[in-house]
Amino acid sequence: MNHREVLAVFDRELRREAAADGPGTEVERDGDVVRQVGPEDGWNGVLWSGLRSGADADAAIAAQVRHFGALGRPFEWKVYGHDRPADLGGRLLAAGFEAEPEETLMVARAADVPAAPVPDGIRLVPVTDQDGVELVADVHEVAFGAARVRIRERLLAQLAAGTVVAAVAMAGDVPVSAARMDLHPGTRFAGLWGGGTVPQWRGRGVYRALVAYRAGEAVARGYEYLQVDASDQSRPILLRLGFAALTTTTPYVHP
């Protein structure tokens, strides 16, 4: 896999030419900026910017703050390590944004991800309906402290649109891990998200099994690449599964 070529395809398909990620959202182009505008409880933010200088960046930042401010929307500017200008992050901080933890953009060919055994005592259950979504929400509430309502609404909308594959790892009747894969029709990428495991089941191979499960589903649906915004916790596991680190990504959030 040529890392530079794959990163260029990622930038084009999922950033510059991105499609809206759900009902009620729109992707807009404002000069050198591509942004998504959605419902108040959805993801609002800047997906890509083709800025060339500090002056360009300052003007674009001010314009997006005005735009989302007029809508009454908090929003995120997603900055990648190769974005320009090199001090874009610092300029966002100076404009009132706050940086969230840096993650690593990792990519693998879906067909190259090795199979992984499901740990003893665990079964993987596809999420296809309201009951499955509630199990995912149970896991995310424990693993991440995440709000149930937002997870529930997003997953139900994605299931209805056919743009997600999700699974829950069950220990008996108890959900202990959950993960989803966002599908991007018309692109070569499927995105791995979630991957939350309750504390007592961490380090036992559940996350790895869920990655392998989703890789198989991606291949079956014709997707070439899997993309992950990896935390420090998941990055070592993904490296062992053949994922490559292409760049970093940092969310800058404006209230």
Instruction: Report, as ranges of residue numbers, the positions in the chain whose pLDDT lies below 50.
Output: none
Q: Cβ distance 211 to 201 under 8 Å? A: no
pLDDT of residue 42: 85
pLDDT of residue 24: 85
pLDDT of residue 22: 79
Q: What is the pLDDT of residues 106-126, one digit of tens each?
A: 999 999 999 999 999 999 999
Residue 214: which H helix or E strand, with range? helix 206-220
Residue ranges of domains in the chain: 3-104, 109-247
Residue 108, by phi and psi: left (phi above 0), alpha (psi -120 to 50) or beta? beta
Please give the Cα distance from 63 to 140 (Å, whole number). Answer: 35
Sign of CA dihedral 123, 129, 134, 136: positive
- List the one residue out of 240, 209, 208, 191 whose CA is nearest residue 14: 191
Q: What is the pTM of this model?
A: 0.93
* Secondary structure string (H, E, C) spanning 57-104: HHHHHHHHHHHHHHHCCCEEEEEECCCCCCCHHHHHHHCCCEECCCEE
Q: Cβ distance 114 to 241 under 8 Å? A: yes
Q: Among 3.30.470.20, 3.40.630.30, 3.30.1330.20, 2.30.30.100, name the CATH number for the domain at 109-247.
A: 3.40.630.30
Please give the Cα distance from 108 to 91 (Å, whole number). Answer: 32
Query: Which residues face 245 on adjacent strands?
Result: 106
Contacts of 135 (CB under 8 A, 6+ apart): 125, 127, 168, 170, 175, 178
